[in-house]
Amino acid sequence: MKLLYNFGINLISAFIAVGSLFKEKLRLLKNGRAEVWDKIEEAGIKEPVIWAHAASLGEFEQGRPLIEAIKKRYPQKKIVLTFFSPSGYEVRKKYDLADLVLYLPADTKANARRFIDAIRPEKVFFIKYEFWYNFLYQLSLRSVPVYGVSMIFREEQLFFKWYGSWFRKVLSFFDHFYLQDKKSAELLSSVGIQNYTVAGDTRFDRVKGIASSAGGIEVAERFSKGYRIIVAGSSWPPDEKILAEYINNSPDDIRMIIAPHVIDDPHIRQIESLLKIPSFRMTSPPDNPGSYRVMIVNTIGMLSSIYRYGQVAYIGGGFGIGIHNTLEAAVYGMPVLFGPNYKRFKEACDLIEKGGGFEIRDFEDLNRIIKKMWNEPDFLKKSGNAACSYVESMCGATDKIMNDLFSAGN
């Protein structure tokens, strides 16, 4: 199995090399990996080093509270942050709390040896998932402790199949798993792994921190003041079709803020074409935003702060491959609505169970639920409180990990 795994890694590297001739993301990955060794040498990172690995941007956001907590308590420690995906690296390559941000080299035995010997980590954190055999094996040979953070396991994973003994060996290289839920703990126990703690998801700490420090946005304030506001975050065309139908036929005192997932000009114009009422783009605000019915957020990095101006949130992606971040809205004490493809997302399922989340299958669902919220203020308040209470109850994973792994003198 080890030979087959290594053959697969080399095959993937060959695919990336060929694909880089045609795909920008693969070109970024190939070139970024090629620069790793020079960047390590130029940085001259000295011990003590903490290495944190995230597959992409979402996993980084989960690990970010832990990185920030380590840096705050131990500013002398150096942080090496690696990504597998260009969508993570290219966005966070200048992350100011990391002393070095890199692509993770291909998981070959030679790369793993060279990388670990070059950065000499004292502790390693793998965020949520990704199990690279050669890196983990070489770390175990050097007795470098490895921890899984905000990890979540599913029954269909190879670790839990009757033929998964080799894959379970990969899990044995971890010193401890900090899990999101009890189901993951039960799965690990079923294959004889007991070195885990159900700590929760560090994303909850992240969204709470964002909400606590979010500043005001003048144009959003002027647009929303005195009106009932729906904030639609990370929307896609199927979401926008339903949202446009709703706002086009809603009373004048209802406003909508739409923050699409794709913000290029053709997509913004597509949204504008669906609207039969006055709208404006956030980057080109009118003198009197309150006289418009829809504000389109055509810039990135604002959504988590904009949710605070709404009473109801709609989270996009549920009519595609899956919904986006529900927690950024729920933390503000507002109910969250989303399309039917949410079942792979634990927090969405939890929000529905707690009464703070609602599944939307079509326009009729959206119209019915929002109408109920507007007409029954107690229902709106109860739903919002349920969402906020859920987030509050799930915070604290970062403190648990810090208390476990960074006690006095460590």
Residue-wise pLDDT tens digits, 229-242:
999 999 999 999 99
Residue 409 pLDDT greater than 50, yes or no: no
Residue 120 pLDDT greater than 80, yes or no: yes
* pLDDT of amino acid 87: 84
For the record, the structure tokens of 201 come out as 């998801």
Residue 231's beta-bridge partner residues? Answer: 257, 313
Residue 121 pLDDT greater than 70, yes or no: yes
* pLDDT of amino acid 410: 53
- What is the average pLDDT score of the chain? 94
39 falls in which pLDDT band (50, 70, 90)? very high
* pLDDT of amino acid 210: 84
DSSP string computed for 374-406:
HH-HHHHHHHHHHHHHHHHHH--HHHHHHHHHS
Q: What is the rounded distance in angstroms from the CA atom of residue 343 to the CA atom of residue 322?
A: 8
CATH 3.40.50.2000 residue ranges of the chain are 210-394
Homologous superfamily assigned to 210-394: Glycogen Phosphorylase B; (3.40.50.2000)
Mean pLDDT of 375-401: 95
Residue type, 192: G
CATH 3.40.50.11720 residue ranges of the chain are 2-202+396-405
Stated pTM of the model = 0.82
Mean pLDDT of 94-113: 96
Peptide bond into 105 cis (omega under 30): no
Give 266-288 pLDDT, tens digit per residue: 999 999 999 999 999 999 999 99
- What spatial distance separates the first Cα and last Cα of the chain, rounded to whole Å? 37
CATH number corresponding to 2-202+396-405: 3.40.50.11720
Give 318-371 pLDDT, tens digit per residue: 999 899 999 999 999 999 999 999 998 889 999 999 999 999 999 999 999 999
